[in-house]
Structure 1
Amino acid sequence: MTACSPAAPPSTEMPAPAPAETTDAVRAIDIAAGQQDGPVDVEVDGGAEGVGVTFREITIEPGAGTGEHCHYGQLIAVVEQGELTHYADIYPGGVHVYRAGESIIEGAGYPHEGRNEGDDDVVLMVTYVIPEGKPLAETDLANCDH
């Protein structure tokens, strides 16, 4: 697994989500949209088992956090509400705050933790791209790159 290199901080200017595309038989609703200033490269080695994709809404209450963990694949997330304080060695000073409308790219292998240090719930829309059979988050840090 390779650690994710720090991405440029996300742009603060967010385009409005595209209007829902609707016909009588097909309806689509954009749930969240975020912006990355740099290129995004998603690579996951699924080996013989393949790759799983999971979409998840995560709510973190004030004062709570994810606990330190890593991932076997990559995540692409959008902060829909609140501010997520993200602790990881990939950031200068080891911390970056993501605000509503910003996107997060997490690479495989590196330990990190997300915390809600604000007064309102943090709501994240997360897409996990993980090798099949692996957990979405690995809490045994011995299995993470350091």
Structure 2
Amino acid sequence: MTPPRRSLVLLTVAASALLGHAGPTASATPGTGVEARTLSEATVDGVDYITREITIAPGGSTGWHYHDGQVYGLIRGGTLSHDAAACVSDGVYPAGAPITEASGPGHVHVGRNLGPAPLVMWVLYIKPAGTPLSVDAPDPGCGFA
């Protein structure tokens, strides 16, 4: 290895070590009180179609997250309180209400059950095959999850 190339490698290793110890990093907010069961799933032409029944206990939350694909839901029981990363409510959905969610990392959100009864939703995910249903994200500074 030539001296200039060795210096570049050493500099890269040193920078990586410093960046790896630059301080605490934001961590994802896991869901609490959430149970989910898959009702159906299929993959067609590189697209996953997954339907799930999601139940969130009173006081429970999905945790902050976003979706890489499209999400459509129907509230079957209870009430969903939905908040955007700007720390403002972007909807309260009672039983019978439909909901859709925008996709991508620019649309971080949280779903919470602030009511006294279990929240039950049917949710359809349409996403690129093999990608996760959701991607965890840190609390954007709202102080709740």
Identify the TM-score tier after normalising by the shorter chain. 0.5 to 0.7
Following TM superposition, by how much is the alpha carbon of 1:137 offset from its aligned partner in structure 2, in angstroms?
Answer: 0.5
Identity %: 41
Which residue in 2 is equivalent to 1:80? Answer: 76
Whole-angstrom distance in 1 between the partners of 2:52 and 2:98: 14
Which blocks of at least 5 consecutive residues in structure 1 are unaligned?
A: 1-48, 142-146
Q: 1:50 Cα shift?
A: 1.5
CA deviations on 1:25-74 (whole Å, 9 max, x unpaired) are xxxxxxxxxxxxxxxxxxxxxxxx72100000000000000000000001
Shift in Å, 1:95: 3.2
Greater strand content = 2
Q: CA contact under 8 A between 1:89 and 1:95: conserved in structure 2?
A: no
> 3-state DSSP class of the match of 1:61?
strand
Contact 1:78 1:103 in 2 (8 A): yes
Deviation, 1:85, is: 0.2
- Alignment-mate amino acid for residue 111 of structure 1: V
Q: Which has the larger radius of gyration?
A: 2
> In proportion to residue count, which structure has more helix?
2
Stretches (4+) displaced over 3 A: none
Aligned length: 92
Unaligned 5+ residue runs, structure 2? 1-44, 139-145
Structure 1 vs Structure 2 CA RMSD: 1.9
TM-score (norm. length: structure 1): 0.59
Map 1:1-146 onto structure 2 (within 5 A).
50-89=46-85, 93-109=88-104, 110-140=107-137
